[in-house]
Amino acid sequence: MDGSVQSTAALPPLPANMTWVVPDGSDSEYDDYYTSPVDAMNHLADWCTLGDVIVPVSARCTLMIAPGTYDLGADQQIIMHEKVDIIGMGVGSTIIRGFVKGSIWDGTSAVIRGAADAELRNLAVNNLVFLATASGDHSSAIYNDGAGFRVNNVSISVNGNDRNYGIINNGVDVTYNDLNIAAANIWAPDKPSVLCFGFWARGAGNIEINRAQVESEGCSDSTAIQDNGANLRLVWIHAKATCPNGPCSANAVWNVSGVLTIVNSKLEGSSRSITIGTDSDRIINTHFNGPVFDAFPATQCWGTYGMSSPDRS
């Protein structure tokens, strides 16, 4: 390697039903490409078609995003479509950055909104609001309510709002692999009542997260992973919640009303490493660094260690 950087002019040709997004001003060899992923998804019928029929009715389409940082601006979203995948060139190469907020936590406050049977892969997603003026505003990097949505090798960060969420999964079956999630309050450390959630499993659904670093810090209420009703399986997870700016509630994993299975993981929380929610929770080969809140004596733990409450393994 001579240290040179490959320009977008060398992008390979794509088969039908695929298109490129390249940074604005790039010297691309293509006449037909987009400079904004929002624009590309809003014009799906122009490149993802078979005759007069949009291809996802019967097949798949792929939006390829070249290396670069794509600033979407304020309140601009990428809305994904069923069977249309978005693939970047790596978490350190393709960066999508937005400034999205809303009065509630739903999909209107996310940079990317997922879709059923679609994949998001190999990129970074940042929602940086920089101190919302309205109290109680919500922001997230990814919101999903489409069954079968897949997120693979994605780095996520969100901060600067009153309510910050890395990923919100709302009541659907999903698998997530190879994530790095950071939800933080770094712009106003003295601001009260700031909430940060790395991953929020909201409502029913079978969810699996494999190989993830999920961190929440600096908020008055910092929770790395919270389960509100889902069957949530965590495998090879490092969940961490800290209070670097003074007293707060910092919880690595909090099961409010779902069912947890945790395997080969490490949970670190200044307040609690885990809040066990039901007798059906199962925790296997997992390291706790921080207090364990356990009000369910039938919960099964095997090979757990570092617990601040008695280990019944």
Sequence-distant (≥ 6) Cβ neighbours of residue 74 within 8 angstroms: 98, 99, 100
In this prediction the pTM is 0.89
pLDDT surpasses 60 at 309: no
Listed by start position, the domains of the chain span: 60-307
pLDDT bin (cut points 50, 70, 90) of residue 28 is low
- 8 pLDDT band (50/70/90 cuts)? very low
Q: Span 197-203, mean pLDDT?
A: 96
Question: Exposed (0-12), middle (13-18) or buried (19+): which is 133, by Cβ within 10 Å?
Answer: exposed
Q: What is the pLDDT of residue 103?
A: 82
* pLDDT for the residue numbered 296: 77
State yes or no: pLDDT of 132 exceeds 70.
Answer: no
Taking all residues of the chain, what is their mean pLDDT, rounded to a whole number? 86
**What is the per-residue pLDDT across 217-226, written as a single tens digit (0 to 9) for each?**
888 889 999 9
Query: What average pLDDT does range 155-166 have in this prediction?
Result: 88
Distance of CA 145 to the CA centre of its chain: 13
Tell me the pairing of strands 68-74 and 94-99. parallel
Q: Could you tell me which residue, 186 or 267, shows the higher pLDDT?
A: 267
Q: What one-letter code names the amino acid at 61?
A: C
Query: In the predicted model, what is the mean pLDDT of residues 203-215?
Result: 96
Q: What is the pLDDT of residue 167?
A: 97
The pLDDT tens digits of the residues spanning 37-78 come to: 999 999 988 888 765 555 565 678 999 999 999 999 888 999
CA-wise closest residue to 185 among 229, 227, 216: 216
Tens of pLDDT, residue by residue over 233-254, are: 999 999 999 887 667 899 999 9
Give the CATH class of 60-307. mainly beta
pLDDT for res 55: 59
Q: Return the pLDDT at 16.
A: 75
10 Å CB burial of residue 31 (0-12, 13-18, 19+) is exposed
Asked whether residue 30 carries a pLDDT value surpassing 60, the answer given is no
Provide the pLDDT for residue 265: 97
Residues 81-130: tens digit of each pLDDT: 999 999 999 999 999 999 988 888 888 899 999 999 999 999 999 998 76
Position 186 confidence tier, pLDDT thresholds 50, 70, 90: low
pLDDT for the residue numbered 312: 36
Q: Bin 68: left if φ > 0, else alpha if -120 < ψ < 50, else beta.
A: left
Whether residue 301 contacts residue 292, with contact meaning beta carbons closer than 8 Å, is answered with no
**In the predicted model, is pLDDT for residue 311 greater than 60?**
no
